[in-house]
Amino acid sequence: MKKTHKQIPQPIRVYRGHSESISSVRFISDNTIFASGSNDGEIRIWKSQSNQLVSIINSNSKKGILHIEKIDSSSFATQSRDGVIKLWNCENSDFISNFEFQTNSKFSFCKFSLSLDFSSLAIPSENPDEIELFDFKSGKKISKMQTEKSGMCMTLGFLKDQLFAGFENGKLYGFDTRMLSEDFIQPVSSLSCFEQPFLSLAISQKYETIFTGSVDPKFLLVQVSSENISQKDPFSDEKGGLILKDEIQLGHEGTSEICLRNDDQIFAFCGWDKRIRVFQFKNKTPKPLAILKFHTETVNSIHFSEDLLNGYLLAGSKDKKITLWQLYPKRKK
């Protein structure tokens, strides 16, 4: 009897046109429209179903786009490497920026993070071990968070009212953003995760689990517990409310970005090895599903569509290409 081999997944579309490394990709309108940003400051709007380029936007940032984040089906926010945050809205089929504000994050590789209700934006300060919290609607600074000799803040993510930050020293810190102060908000929990710098994290609101990646050749899952959060010495190596749940050895360094599908049943991460790794996460247990191979350089950004029936995943790479994959579409009940 002949052995049957699993079919190797291939992208269903490849989008070309950027002249520099692609730093961020995000679906904006379900499966139909997505945005991509590159290191030359260019933003492109695409129709995913047809490879059609809708528009090219000059962000006027000489240092390039670092991050794109969807706000709703007709708007998105961008972060340029000079620390400028812009909000783009669709007007007469064109995306126009009618609001922007300057932050102090001018030397950081860290992407901003928005609170779940889009009211607050967290981003590193000009001081490497500080994080600033802004009112997203007005652009005014609300408060600051600080750690102790942790190096640069590398990655951020909200879990309800808590903000989690991964730092250059490999440590993960948790802050309660309700504890607004004219001074600094101090961390309420911490956990030593990696020997080398953090690079990325993503958070499951459903399972209260933090998916973390770094320069180290491993991937960690951290459970957040509301019990035993120590406020006596948050800078110690005591776990407090953070518990290491799973460790996945990778055999390669560098996890660029992590993304969860919006049902929290599947997650993926990409990295320096030019691959995208896809895992199942049923019953809070990671199970490998596929390794996607197409790109010829580092994959910098990935994003799942909100429509689970098609199972789309976008990927943007240093090789200046964007790929669209169809993975494990969810069946109608």
pTM of the complete model beyond 0.85: yes
Q: How much is the pLDDT for 251?
A: 87
Domain extent listing, the chain:
13-326
Which of helix, strand or coil describes residue 283? helix
Q: How much is the pLDDT for 240?
A: 64
Instruction: Quote the radius of gyration of the chain (alpha carbons, Å).
Output: 19
CA distance 91 to 189: 44
Give the chain's residues under pLDDT 70: 1-6, 92, 181-182, 227-240, 332-333
Q: Are strands 52-58 and 113-114 parallel, antiparallel or unpaired?
A: unpaired
* Structure token pair of residue 18: 């950027």
Tell me the longest C-alpha to C-alpha distance in the chain. 72
Asked whether the beta carbons of 168 and 192 are under 8 A apart, the reply is: no
Q: Kindly give the residue spans of alpha helices, DSSP state H, lying in the chain.
A: none
Measured torsion, CA atoms of residues 26, 31, 33, 35, in degrees rounded to the nearest 10: 10
User: Which residue in the block uniquely carries the two structure tokens 């407090």?
Assistant: 240
Q: How much is the pLDDT for 283?
A: 81
Supply the DSSP string of 133-172, one letter for each residue: EEETTT--EEEEEE-SS---EEEEEEETTEEEEEETTSEE
Q: How much is the pLDDT for 182?
A: 66
Q: How much is the pLDDT for 137?
A: 93
Q: How much is the pLDDT for 309?
A: 84
Which of 2.130.10.10, 3.20.20.80, 3.30.420.40, 1.10.3720.10 would CATH assign to domain 13-326?
A: 2.130.10.10
